[in-house]
Structure formats: structure tokens, C-alpha cells
């Protein structure tokens, strides 16, 4: 019983550190966050931090894995669904990402602001790195299936799995920058963003050898919901 209780207490304390990390990412950024700030927030001695993480960088890695875990589990279930062809699986994974964003719009917009802040370059780099490690096998499986089904045409399915994740990160960065521009002013339109989206979808289809118009990153309904939410938030701030 003692061992079980010790393990549970360890997991609970570790989760407290991860939650504190999440809070400081949003309030001060990764670079300004210190081990002392974390231990003070959790309410433990500074040395206690090193029972759970070897360094601040190790904490960053574990936090990213923790945050990405649930969506990766959803993606894994998609790859195991034998009723779906490769294109359906790829687009369903994209849809899962959009659904999560719509359900957590405030968090997503805040995260975009944080990721592309110069003080959080390490965070963006670590999220990109962990995305590749966690999702590579998922996309590799889908690409191999697509090649076998004749909907993808590439001799490099395993290598492209990593490249697709990188391209998706580049698209997310463009999307994030567009969101920031829309937050600052209203000059960036949905049509502008759809043009940008069409470029990235075309690139993805050409690399995979997929039929034109077969891959969807985002759609106008998603963008309209997101832009309206930002506009409404700005109105609330002006009247507050």
C-alpha cells in the first residue's frame, strides 16, 4: 500500500508542476519562467523540482507531450479504423484538429499568441520536435495505405511522414500570424486566409501525389467562426 500511495503522490505532484507550467506559459512565457517560480506556485522546496524533472528543458519536453497526448490518442484511433481509406483518415485527422480548436477557441488563440512570441522560441521548437516524434508513425501508416490504394503516389512514404508534419507546422504558423494580424486590426480577410490555405493544400497534394482538392486543412466555416469570435472578443474589451 505504501508503494502505491507513493506512486500516486508522485503523479499528482508531477501534474501540479505541469499545470503550473501551463499557467506561466500564458502569463510570462517560457524564457521568463523560472524553477523558483514553479516551486513557489506548487508550494514545495526548490530542490523538489529535480525529483520530477532533470532540468527546465526536460520539463518543457514533458509538458508538450502531456498537452499533445489526448489529440494523438484520437489520431491513433483513426489510423486503426479499417472502414476508412487513406484520404478519409488524413482528412479526419485534420477535422479532429479543427474540432479541438473550435471547442477551445480562447485557449487556441492565446496559444498562437504565445507560440509566435519571440520569448517562446524554445516552446515552438519543442512542440514541433515532439509533433514529429509522436505523429510520425501515424502519418507513415496512412501514407503507406494510400500508396497501396493508389490514391497517393510517392516512393518515400516513411520520409514524407515527417515532412507532412513539418508542412502542417508551417501552415499553423501562417495561420497563427494571420490570427495575430486579425486581432491587431481587421485588414486580414477570410478570403486572404483561404488563398493561403489553398496554397498549402496544393503543396500537400502535390507532394503526396493525391488528387487535386482531396485534402482539407481548414474551411470557410471554421475561419468564419474563428474570425467572428475574435471580433466579438474585441467588442467586449472595448465596452468593458
What is the structure's pLDDT at 116?
Answer: 67
Looking at the fold, whether 37 and 96 belong to one and the same domain comes out as no
Looking at the fold, whether 17 and 73 belong to one and the same domain comes out as no
Looking at the fold, whether 213 and 151 belong to one and the same domain comes out as yes
State the Cα–Cα distance between residues 55 and 49, nearest whole angstrom: 8
Looking at the fold, whether 105 and 62 belong to one and the same domain comes out as yes
Looking at the fold, whether 32 and 131 belong to one and the same domain comes out as no
Looking at the fold, whether 41 and 74 belong to one and the same domain comes out as no
Looking at the fold, whether 35 and 118 belong to one and the same domain comes out as no
Residue 179 has pLDDT above 50, yes or no: yes
- Which domain covers residue 230, as residue numbers? 56-239
The CB density around residue 210, as the number of other CB atoms within 10 Å, is 21
Looking at the fold, whether 178 and 225 belong to one and the same domain comes out as yes
Q: Are 107 and 171 in contact (CB under 8 A)?
A: no
Q: What are phi and psi of 27, to 5 degrees?
A: -95, -40
C-alpha cell at 71: 489529440
Average pLDDT score over residue span 7-27: 85
What is the structure's pLDDT at 73?
Answer: 92
Number of domains in the chain: 2
Span 45-61, pLDDT tens digits: 989 999 999 998 889 88
CA dihedral 145→201→175→125, nearest 10 degrees, is 50
Looking at the fold, whether 23 and 93 belong to one and the same domain comes out as no
Most confident of 27-31, 107-111, 223-227: 223-227
* pLDDT level of residue 169 (50, 70, 90 thresholds): confident
15: alpha, beta or left? (left if phi > 0; alpha if psi -120 to 50) = alpha
Min mean pLDDT across 156-165, 166-175, 190-199 is at 166-175
Span 63-85, pLDDT tens digits: 888 888 888 899 999 999 999 99
Q: Are 94 and 215 in contact (CB under 8 A)?
A: yes
Looking at the fold, whether 116 and 82 belong to one and the same domain comes out as yes
Span 195-209, pLDDT tens digits: 888 999 999 999 999
What is the structure's pLDDT at 119?
Answer: 63
Looking at the fold, whether 126 and 44 belong to one and the same domain comes out as no
pTM for the predicted model, two decimal places: 0.77
Q: In terms of pLDDT, which residue wins out, 122 or 11?
A: 11
Looking at the fold, whether 12 and 65 belong to one and the same domain comes out as no
Q: Which of 36, 53, 70 is the last residue of a domain?
A: 53
Q: Could you tell me the CATH number of the domain that includes residue 38?
A: 1.10.10.60
Amino acid at each position: 500500500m505504501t508503494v502505491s500511495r507513493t506512486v500516486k503522490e508522485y503523479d499528482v505532484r508531477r501534474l501540479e508542476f505541469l499545470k503550473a507550467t501551463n499557467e506561466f506559459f500564458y502569463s510570462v512565457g517560457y524564457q521568463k519562467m523560472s524553477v523558483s517560480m514553479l516551486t513557489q506556485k506548487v508550494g514545495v522546496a526548490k530542490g523538489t523540482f529535480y525529483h520530477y524533472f532533470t532540468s527546465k528543458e526536460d520539463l518543457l519536453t514533458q509538458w508538450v507531450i502531456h498537452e499533445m497526448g489526448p489529440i494523438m490518442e484520437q489520431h491513433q484511433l483513426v489510423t486503426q479504423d479499417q472502414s476508412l481509406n487513406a484520404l478519409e483518415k488524413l482528412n479526419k485527422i485534420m477535422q479532429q484538429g479543427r474540432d479541438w480548436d473550435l471547442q477551445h477557441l480562447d485557449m487556441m488563440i492565446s496559444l498562437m499568441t504565445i507560440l509566435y512570441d519571440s520569448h517562446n522560441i524554445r516552446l515552438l521548437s519543442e512542440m514541433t520536435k515532439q509533433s514529429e516524434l509522436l505523429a510520425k508513425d501515424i502519418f507513415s501508416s496512412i501514407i503507406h495505405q494510400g500508396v497501396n490504394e493508389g490514391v497517393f503516389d510517392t516512393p518515400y512514404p516513411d520520409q514524407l511522414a515527417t515532412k507532412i508534419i513539418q508542412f502542417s507546422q508551417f501552415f499553423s504558423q501562417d495561420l497563427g500570424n494571420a490570427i495575430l494580424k486579425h486581432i491587431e486590426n481587421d485588414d486580414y480577410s477570410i478570403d486572404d486566409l483561404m488563398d493561403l490555405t489553398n496554397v498549402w493544400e496544393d503543396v500537400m497534394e502535390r507532394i503526396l501525389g493525391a488528387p487535386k482538392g482531396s485534402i482539407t486543412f481548414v474551411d470557410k466555416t471554421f475561419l468564419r467562426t474563428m474570425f467572428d469570435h475574435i471580433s466579438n472578443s474585441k467588442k467586449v474589451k472595448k465596452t468593458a
